[in-house]
Amino acid sequence: MRVSTLYKNNQPVLSMEFFPPRNQAASETFNGVIDTLSALDPDYLSITFGAGGSTRDGSYQAVKVLIVNKKLPTVAYIAGYGLGPDDIREVLDKYKEIGVETIFVIRGDKPKTDDAALHPDSFLYASDLIAFIKSHYDFTLGCAGYPEGHIEAESLDMDIHYLKQKVENGAEYVVTQYFYDNAYFFNFVEKCKAQGIDVPIIPGIMPVYTVNMTRMLSKVCGSTITKALDTQLNAVNPDDTDSVLKLGIEFATEQCRGLLKKGVPGLHFYTMDRSKSTVAIVQQLRQENLL
């Protein structure tokens, strides 16, 4: 399954992201979530890959379960930071053997400790990793974009310059970091077009799952909590799980309405290996004939 072909259709593409389970208990939950969300008939699923190959085996096993056992259209992530060319080829060869055709390429997070072992020929930038993969394989490649600029970038304009390099090196579609104000996304798309980036740009959607998670991830990812959302987060009891989920579902559904009415190529849900919110949002959008 080549993702680039999906975005050539006129219908919005529905995709969902998962991270690989880390133990047996998590595997059981993961399989249940996959079964629940695959019933929505998404166009594809994606499995993340830990920094420095930290989830290499788990990511491979999760991708294999989805493709081989469950027969689901699946994209495999790869993060290059810390890995050498031979490591990358070993991972990609294994993915190719089980039928993966699309790879989502990211740099990956830098190690949090100075003593982490990095391969001397590690790929320091996603654009370089994309060029390497493109020169050795025929995978369809995707990459990440940041509507508010990557947290390490000098500016949004420079970050878009780096994104253009990824596309010039072979990326055929972009999935963005999540955001809580659609204006960030539409401004980003316009700036990308002005720089000659003409591949599909897909908005990433992160519903509020818990108040603490939302605030923590906002700091880590650089995704602004808007005044409107902040007011709602302050008003809800963070220990009232149902109320928090309801808030998140309603806020994300309204976001998705605005995006779909403007003709975005698709929606990409960051599920955090949970199902309830994504199910509710997708079902509501389908009832409104938006998705």
Residue 193 and residue 164: Cα distance in Å, rounded?
10
Q: Please state, in angstroms and as integers, the Cα–Cα distance from residue 245 to each residue in 15, 18, 21, 36, 270, following that order.
A: 20, 19, 22, 17, 15
The token pair at 278 is 């994504």
Give the type of residue at 49. Answer: F
Contacts of 80 (CB under 8 A, 6+ apart): 88, 105, 106, 107, 108, 122, 123, 126, 128, 129
Catalytic residue numbers read 17
| DSSP H or E stretch at residue 13 | strand 13-18
Residue 53 and residue 279: Cα distance in Å, rounded?
31
Residues facing residue 75 across a β-bridge? 46
Nearest to 206 by CA among 272, 257, 160, 262: 272
Give the type of residue at 284. Answer: Q
Residue 73 and residue 147: Cα distance in Å, rounded?
27
30 near 62, Cβ under 8 Å?
Answer: yes
